[in-house]
Structure formats: C-alpha cells, structure tokens
Structure 1
Amino acid sequence: MKKLIYHALGPVLKATTTLMVSVAAATLHAQPYPSTYEAPKASPLLIENVTALTGDGRRLDQTAVYVADGVIQWVGEGDSTADAVVIDGSDLWLTPGIIDVHSHLGVYPSPGVEAHSDGNESTAPVTAEVWAEHSIWPQDPGFVRALAGGVTTLQVLPGSANLFGGRGVTIKNSLSGSYQGMKFPEAPYGLKMACGENPKRVYGSRKSAPSTRMGNVAGYREAWIRAQKYIDDWAAYEESGKDDKKAPVRDLELETLAGVLNGEIIVHMHCYRADEMMTVLDMADEFGYEVGSFHHGVEAYKVADRLAEEGVCGALWADWWGFKMEAYDGIMENLALVDRPEGSCAVVHSDSSEGIQRLNQEAAKAMSRGQRMGLDIPPERAIRWITENAAKSLGIDDVTGTIAPGKMADLVLWDGNPMSVYTRAQRVFIDGVLKFDRNDPALIPVTDFELGQLLEAAQ
C-alpha cells in the first residue's frame, strides 16, 4: 500500500515542486559555463553495402546510411547523394558511436600521478557544489584511446568518496583546448551520489560521520531536507516581489540538490547491494525525485523487476566482482538479467581508462553469459547497452544513440562483428566528421600533452 501511495502522489508532488520553483529556476540553475562545442563542417557522406546494428534492436544487412550537415538523413534508401563521399561498407559493420556513462577521464588523467588526482573532493560527505568539468584536463591521452575504441560520447563523473560527490558532465569525445569545447550541447547535468562502503570508509577512518550505512542514509536525508527548504525560500522570495532584503543567500551545494528535486539534474547512484538500492528508491519516493541510474550495481539482478518497473537504468560492469565485500555477490549474468524485454535499461559502463577502450568487448562478455544461461541476446540487442540505453541514461537519447534520421551522425565502422574480440574500430565519425581512421596516421589524433612528449623524444 505504501508503494502505491507513493506512486499515486509522486506526479502531484513533482508537479507542485516544479510550479514552486519555475520562476526561480533561472536564478537557481544558471549555466555560467556553457558548451562552446560546434560541429565542424564536412562533406555529405554515404556508407553503403554495410551491416548496421542500429542501436534500437535492429540489424540491417547490405544497407546504406546517408549523412549531411552532421545529421543522419536517411537509412536504407533516400534522395540523391551525388555530392557525397562514398564509403563501400562491404564486410564492415556500422554502429552508433559508443557512449560511456561512467568515466573519470580528464579528472583522473594519464599519467596517473598525484598532481592529476582531481576526481574526489573528499573534504566533506556532501560536496554537491563541485562540478567535475572544472577538473577536466582536455589533454588527457585517455580521450584519444577511447576514441580508438569507438567512444564518441562520455559522462565524466566525480569519484565516489562522498554521499554527494558533485555534478558530472557529458562531453563529446572531440579534442578541444577547453572542456567547454567538448561539452555535449544541451545535455542535462548528472549528480554523482554514492552509497555503501566508500563514504563510510573515507569518513569513518577520520572518526567523523558517516561511519555506517545508517549514517549514510541520514546524511542523504538531511541534505534533501535542506534542499527542500532552499526551494521554499526562493519560491517565497519570488512571490514577495523580489524584495532584495528577503533574497536567500545563494548556495552552490543546494542549487545542485534543488536541480535534482526540480527534475533538471539526473541522479547517478554508485550502489552495489540490492538492499541499498531498494532503500535509495524509497528515499527518492520520500523526497519526490527520480533515480536515473544505479552504477556498478553488482546485485542489480536481485531487484531487476523493480528497476524495470520504475524505469531506472542499471549501468553495470560485465564481470567485475569480489574486490570488496559489497561486490562479493556479483554474477557474470547480472547485466543480461537486468536487460528485461520490457521497461528495462541495461547499460555497460567502464569506470576505467582501460575498459573504455573496449566497451564493445565488455558488452560481448555480458551477451555471452546471457546466452549461456539460455537468454536470446543477439548482437543487435546487446549493442543497445552501449548506445541507445546509455544515451537514455544521460538524457540525450532524443539526439544520439541510434542510427536513425535526425540523429547526430556519431558512427563507428568496424572491421567485423563488434561483439568479436578480434574486431577493431576502423573509422569513427562525430557529427559526420571523420575523427579517427586506423589506416591513416594523419587521422589518429594525439593530445597536446602527447605531442610535446613525442617531439621531445624525437630530438
């Protein structure tokens, strides 16, 4: 009954909250560091005779895809392409660009030295005021390595030391001199949260709160209560006619939390155990917000029905387990079991500067384990875990993640079935522009940092 009441009241509570803060939203959630990313111009492109995994569950054999102005214009057949650069896709496979929803590239860049450790602001249990983008080093060579693996979009998150670690940012994997030049246009922010061992270990070792799982939950709830009051204070200020003497003091931490309660920022929850996922979902009901994704979630298979029912994504590893107690009950069939036929949103993520280079192989491992237990998971379904579902997790599935007319032309040409360990990305396109070509040294990019190292070595 409690669950039914929550679900009945949820839309009403959310609508009421949205109404309360609609006037104040510009004040609370201004965008002071906007994206400056602009898709470069490129000639129209026609890829023909190719096997396409479209990212939405379909496989198209001997098909064609036409791109112009950075956008997919048609799939299969369409208008004249007389001015297009033509690529013969015979014996090649085409997929949407790979999307990694959990990366620390740029905030924990290579080389891995202490001076580059910029991912965890582990100075307080709640650091929702920090933004990962302000730590991104655009010269991280990891971006190029990920591009060679077909990754065209990624979410860069803070680490998991804190209950609220700060805002994550979605970026296009296109080199730039600034993080603003990489920011995915109009992508919503994410809020990194963490439960379980990490925050209680970090702060418990300092003899401060939280030091237990119950301390974790109390810390979340206290923060949400403060955020609710912040929203109320701003609403009262707006209704009063904006008397300057009554204006609330701006609070960066509470701005982010208010953004979640207002439905503008997506929660990405680091959480391993099934019981804690259930607690977090109940807490989201208590405060009227939604959990976008559970990350890592080695026990997600135990609560797969509820995740599907509530439309919560499981951003998971293919086979990581056992490296700490809360990861002990992981199984390699986890991702396949979360990927229910209806309503589910299974995602393969990396959380690794190495794993991001082979997300197609990670998806293949999860696919294989599902097939071994009797589930029907062909490549055209498994590819969704690193394309369409990943885009949905980040709130950008309306513009990317599938090969469909009107979508961004973020595409990868593979030299075989991308679910094979022997297959490699041959060409990677971002907004229809060829950004990586394995057979052309001039189109295997290097960062400024790498270029400096190479020049020094050559002298």
Structure 2
Amino acid sequence: MCSTLLRAEAPYPSTYQPLPSQSLLITNATVLTGTGDRLDQASVLLADGRIQAVSSRAIRAPGDANRLDAEGRWVTPGLIDVHSHLGVYASPGIAAHSDGNEATSPTTAHVWAEHGIWPQDPGFNRARAGGVTTLQVLPGSANLIGGRGVTLKNVPAVSYQAMKFPGAPHGLKMACGENPKRVYGQRNQEPSTRMGNVAGFRARWIEAQKYLDDWARYEQRVADGETGLDAPARDLRLETLAGVLRGEILVHNHCYRADEMMTMLDVAAEFGYSISAFHHGVEAYKIADELAAAGVCGALWADWWGFKAEAYDGIPENIALVDRPEGSCAIVHSDSSEGIQRLNQEAAKAMARGRAAGMNIPPEQAIRWLTANAARSLGILDRTGTLEPGKMADVVIWNGNPFSVYAKADQVFIDGALIFDRADLERQPLSDFELGQSLGDRP
C-alpha cells in the first residue's frame, strides 16, 4: 500500500446527512425482502433510519411509532440503477447540460463524473417517483477508459457531495467495442479498430502497474530511513487506474458482444483486477456460465437490441438466462432518463419473456435484479439493497404488485425519511430548476 498515494484518493468527501425520520411500523403488506423471500401479510419496522425488523409475525413497535396499514400493497427495498447519466446529461437536453463524455482522449481516467453532476436535474425527482433510492452516475462511453462514476443517494440537494453515498467505492467506466473505435477512428486517431481498443487497455494497465511499483519503492525507501528522496510525480489518470489494481475502485465495463466480454475477462486476469459488471451485454446469455463462474454481474436492458451492429444479436430472454441459480448476478439497468422511471416494468418484461421460455421467475427472485444484485455490483450490499435488520431504511411501498403494468410507487423512504408520497404534493420535491413552473407534469 502506498500511504502517500492513498491520501490523494479521498478528496470531495460525502457530506450526505439523512433527513429527519420517525419510527414507522408498516403492517399487512406483501414484502419482497430482496434476499429471495416473499412474506405475505407481513410487517416492516423502520426506526432511527434503519430496518429494525421484518416478519410475517407481529412486531412490537416503539410507543411513539407511526403505523401504516398496507393491506393490498407491496413493500420492497428501494430500487437501485447501476447505470445512469442523470445530472451529467441533465434535462432539458441542451448542449449546456452535456457533461457526460470528456471525449478528448481515449483514456480520461482522471475525470470524475461527480464533477459534472447538476443536482437540479429534474430527472432525479422523476426517478424517485419510480422508486429509485440509489443510483450510480457514470461518464459516457466515448472512451476506452472514461473516468470515475459515483454512487448517489437520490435525495434533493444543492451539491453532489450532499447526495454522495457515504463510503461507496468509486466505479471506473470502461468501454469496449464500437464506441471508442468510432469516436477516435473518425478523427484518424487511435484506436480505430477493436485491435487498437485492446492494445490501448493493455498499455494503460502497464503504465498503472509501473506507477504502483514506483510509489511502493519510494514508500519502502522512506520506511527504511532514507532521506532527501523525491516522491514520484502525481498523475491523476494513473491514480485512478492504480485504485482499480488495488481493488479500491470497481470496474463497470460497457460491452455488448460475448467475444469481447471474454477478451475483457482475459485482460483483467492479465493485470490482476476484477470486473464488477458488464453493462448492456446484449450477448451475455451466450456466456452466462462464464460470468457466474467469474463472479461478474450482467447489468442489462430488458429488450434494447439491434440499434447498431454489435447490438444485433440480443434476445429478450437475456436477463432471465443470465440469472443462473448459483453465483449469478443479473441486474436491470436503464442508461436512460426515462427508463429509470420504470425500472420495475423493465424487470417485468424480462420476467415475462423468461417465463414464456419455460423459466419460473417469481417476484421474490426478480426484485433482486433491481435491489440486491445492483447493490452487490456497487460494493454497497452490506448497507442497502435488502430489507434486513441494520440496513439503511431505503424502502418503497407500491400500490400493488411492482411487476404489474399498473404499479406505482405510493411512498418512498430513504434512510427512513419519507422522501416521496404520491398522495401529498408536499412530499413531491421540485428541483430549484422547476420552481415557479407549471405543476401539471408532477409524477
């Protein structure tokens, strides 16, 4: 470990503080815990911003707890979108809000998505109305290595730091395939082929390994008592890549084709890092066993395919096929300011196609695509993603089965605070950008 280098990894800390909350006992609900269980006529107790108890038996609540009879309604963990560009491609979609791609070099590992986030983006409010309590905002995919992503709690704020999920690791956005070779090939730059893509990755990891070694030698010489030494020059790009090699930054790899995902697994093995998730992965079904064996998640669309050559061989059973019984990690993601508002319906489409293909996919299994598996890929499963005692009280109460086309999020809690209530305009926050505008398009 390089202590001097590690100190450079901690600027811009989270200033997030949970909103005030009251103890709440939810009763008579159908509860999907996110752990694979479904509890009917069950209760959930929220207190001190945490899940205190979940049971199909009576729960004793504090005397001052509010009580909510959820008869006929369903309760789930808050939804998590692992692939969003809210804030960096904010609404309205104008050039002034286009901050997602630093397409000035094939490798821009030094840029951080959080420094381009506009907290006033109305998309955050719309996503919250769809039950999304946590999201990862990523740079775009013009580059081989596009920079760091950040995980946010979906709360109204005036700074991104006040939304930043405390303690969540950064993600590194990487992109294989057509995007980088198209962007730079059109400029007569490298890479212009898939060969160039892989060569570019390998060259950058070699540089990162040397950077780590240089710092390790310097730190060792200092520890041995040598004086008058010059520290290696800091390099923001290589600091990020070194963070990946140390296992502190998680790799989120945009990749469509099965062969390219296999190549990226080989690159990761060559340089000793892990891939947290392949994003988009329309051909992930072809290598579902390999992904499960490697412990790599597939963050996938329900039915986007065919819009370019590398997306041609997608099938709507993709998510269901990736969701193997053992070791698998299927996730429904959006990559869309509109899709993030209905992640539950995207999951429902994948369920339907899986069932039509003969797979039994109950709601208690499918909810993991939106909660526990997503949290796992972001390195925050120990804190959120399931309704288990001690975890953050990120909770959604739905008006019925969340996988129905008629499903709506009635109430959304983040760390136990009621942050959205469909029946109460006072609990439907507006961004500063929306103040004074028409209320006709409220969620």
**Which residue among 100, 120, 123 is the counterpart of 1:119?**
100
Q: Does 1:207 align with 2:188?
A: yes
Deviations 1:115-152 (A, max 9, x none): 11000000000000000000000000000000000000
- What secondary structure does 1:347 align onto? strand
Deviations 1:306-336 (A, max 9, x none): 1000110000000000000000000000000
Change (3 A) 1:454 1:227: same
- Structure 1 residues 385-394 or 68-77, which shifts more? 68-77
**Aligned amino acid, residue 68 of structure 1:** A
Whole-angstrom distance in 2 between the partners of 1:78 and 1:383? 24
Whole-angstrom distance in 1 between the partners of 2:186 and 2:61? 66
Deviation at 1:81, TM superposition (A): 2.7
Name the counterpart of 1:194. 175
Deviations 1:255-309 (A, max 9, x none): 0000000000000000000000000001100000000000000000001001000
Whole-angstrom distance in 2 between the partners of 1:346 and 1:328? 20
Residues 390, 401 of structure 1: 8 Å contact kept: yes
Name the counterpart of 1:435. 419
Name the counterpart of 1:39. 18
Q: Percent identity?
A: 69
Q: Does 1:55 align with 2:34?
A: yes
Deviation at 1:206, TM superposition (A): 0.1
Q: Does 1:75 align with 2:59?
A: no
Higher helix share: 1
Deviation at 1:56, TM superposition (A): 1.1
**Aligned amino acid, residue 73 of structure 2:** L
**Aligned amino acid, residue 259 of structure 2:** D
**Aligned amino acid, residue 361 of structure 2:** I
Change (3 A) 1:268 1:243: farther
**Aligned amino acid, residue 47 of structure 2:** A
Deviations 1:228-256 (A, max 9, x none): 00000100110111746420100000000
Whole-angstrom distance in 2 between the partners of 1:385 and 1:174? 22
**Which residue among 247, 250, 255 is the counterpart of 1:266?**
250
Whole-angstrom distance in 1 between the partners of 2:229 and 2:104? 32
- Structure 1 residues 351-360 or 444-453, which shifts more? 444-453
Deviation at 1:43, TM superposition (A): 1.2
Whole-angstrom distance in 2 between the partners of 1:243 and 1:186? 35
Name the counterpart of 2:341. 357
Q: Does 1:413 align with 2:397?
A: yes
Name the counterpart of 1:170. 151
Name the counterpart of 2:203. 222
Whole-angstrom distance in 1 between the partners of 2:193 and 2:8? 32
Name the counterpart of 2:69. 88
Change (3 A) 1:436 1:80: closer
Change (3 A) 1:247 1:22: closer
- Misfit runs of 4+, over 3 Å: 22-25, 77-80, 242-245, 452-455
Deviation at 1:404, TM superposition (A): 0.8
Deviation at 1:444, TM superposition (A): 1.0
**Which residue among 316, 319, 322 is the counterpart of 1:338?**
322
Name the counterpart of 2:6. 26
Residues 237, 243 of structure 1: 8 Å contact kept: no
Whole-angstrom distance in 2 between the partners of 1:128 and 1:246? 25
Deviations 1:42-94 (A, max 9, x none): 11111001100111111100000111100001111444432111110101100
- What secondary structure does 2:183 align onto? helix
What CA RMSD, in Å, does the superposition of the two structures yield over aligned residues? 1.1
Matches within 5 A, 1:138-157: 138-157=119-138
How many pairs are equivalent?
434
- What secondary structure does 1:217 align onto? helix
Q: Does 1:316 align with 2:295?
A: no
Whole-angstrom distance in 2 between the partners of 1:244 and 1:212? 46
Deviations 1:378-411 (A, max 9, x none): 1110010000000001000000000110110000
Name the counterpart of 1:17. none
Whole-angstrom distance in 1 between the partners of 2:85 and 2:397? 26
- What secondary structure does 2:197 align onto? helix
- What secondary structure does 1:43 align onto? coil
- What secondary structure does 2:83 align onto? strand
Deviations 1:404-442 (A, max 9, x none): 101100000000100000110000000000000001111
Residues 32, 367 of structure 2: 8 Å contact kept: yes
Deviation at 1:40, TM superposition (A): 1.9
Unaligned runs of 5+ in 1: 1-20
Deviations 1:202-250 (A, max 9, x none): 0000000000000000000000000000000100110111746420100
